[in-house]
Amino acid sequence: MGRVACIDYGIKRIGLAISDENRIIASSLGVLQAQKTSSETIELLLKTLSPYEINLILIGNPIHLNGKVGFLADEVEHFANLLRTHVSCEVRLWDERLSTSVAERSLKEGGMSRKKRSKVVDAVAAIIILQSFLGY
């Protein structure tokens, strides 16, 4: 079946998650700092993913509850298109509605400080997005 990688794309930080080979469990690969250019960010991303055999890359698509795309949608689409030119696997946008809100709330309820939450919330959001795909 092969692993699925998931990206919670942000202008400053990019959360990463990866599935197991059976596509049952989503785990964190941490948070990457976005680089000066999308190409540099993709280079860092591919370096991080290189130890894994990835068959599909999901990128969270910022859609509002009313179905309209969020303000980052154009940037995400551009990033996805650029990434497609660097990988042989499929790159697919996936609805990320409420993923960051759910991640933030879960971390807060777990007693994590705001400072610590800000460092991991994007990775947790990527796990939530990926788990929604795996359960689909």
DSSP H helix total and E strand total for the chain? 4, 5
∠ CA 26-76-50, rounded to 5°: 50
- Tell me whether residue 6 is exposed, middle or buried, using C-beta atoms within 10 angstroms of its C-beta: 0 to 12, 13 to 18, 19 or more: buried
Q: pTM for the full model? A: 0.89
Domains and CATH numbers, the chain: 3-17+34-134 (3.30.420.140)
SS3 92: strand
d(CA 121, CA 136): 23
| CA 105 and chain centroid, separation | 18
**Per residue in 91-125, pLDDT tens?**
999 988 777 777 778 777 888 788 887 778 888 89
Confidence band, pLDDT 50/70/90 cuts, at residue 89? very high
d(CA 135, CA 133): 5
**What are the Cα distances from residue 44, in Å, to 40, 83, 84?**
6, 12, 15
**Per residue in 17-69, pLDDT tens?**
999 999 999 999 999 999 999 999 999 999 999 999 999 999 999 887 787 87
Please, are residues 79 and 38 in contact by the beta-carbon 8 Å criterion? yes
